[in-house]
């Protein structure tokens, strides 16, 4: 396994400011960093529009960031790359049904469940798409599935 160059800003972002280097479960650590950053940004902005724009910019740049880091490491979707988890959390903050501690915890847990289990079609796209888009897209789908489940939970309770 090739080492990550944390002095390289692309690698530093790809590994979620170093959170992707933590074991076990680097994706969970990356998601936690995304959650913390999102809570701070939500507290400052309280704007779904801000998060929609942030998600779009982070997704587009993430396709490059993840692809470049994968190429540098010679491994497609290296487990240490967690930028995709961070961006997925940003997407969730665009559409959360409730912005409070319980909503944040449920968002984190539901996203991790869908990201780990990868039900159809998430696993399909995870296996079929390549490059940075492939790395990013399955996490976006997991976030969408998590959001749907949260909205259903809030609707029926």
pLDDT in tens, the chain (157 residues): 788 999 999 999 999 999 999 999 999 999 999 999 999 999 999 999 999 999 999 999 999 999 999 999 999 889 999 999 999 999 999 999 999 999 999 999 999 999 999 999 999 999 999 899 999 999 999 999 999 999 999 999 8
Domain count, the chain: 1
Helix or strand holding residue 115 (H, E): helix 101-117
7 domain residue, yes or no = no
Q: Report the interhelical angle of 131-156 vs 83-95 (nearest 10°).
A: 30
With respect to residue 1, please indicate whether it lies within any of the assigned structural domains.
no
Tokens found for residue 59: 């997704």
Domain that holds residue 100: 19-156
What's the whole-model pTM score? 0.95
Give domain status of residue 119, yes or no: yes
DSSP 3-state of 59: helix
Please report whether residue 87 resides in a domain: yes
């Amino acid at each position: 396994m090739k080492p990550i160059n944390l002095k390289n800003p692309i690698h530093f972002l790809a590994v979620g400011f170093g959170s992707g280097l933590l074991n076990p479960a680097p994706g969970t650590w990356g998601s936690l960093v995304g959650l913390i950053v999102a809570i701070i940004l939500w507290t400052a902005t309280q704007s779904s529009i801000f998060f929609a724009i942030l998600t779009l910019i982070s997704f587009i740049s993430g396709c490059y960031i993840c692809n470049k880091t994968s190429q540098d490491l010679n491994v497609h979707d290296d487990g240490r790359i967690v930028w995709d988890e961070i961006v997925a959390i940003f997407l969730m903050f665009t559409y959360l049904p409730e912005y409070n501690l319980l909503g944040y915890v449920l968002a984190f847990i539901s996203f991790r469940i869908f990201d780990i289990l990868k039900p159809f079609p998430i696993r399909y796209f995870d296996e079929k798409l390549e490059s940075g888009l492939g790395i990013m897209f399955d996490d976006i789908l997991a976030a969408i599935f998590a959001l749907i489940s949260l909205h259903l939970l809030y609707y029926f309770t």
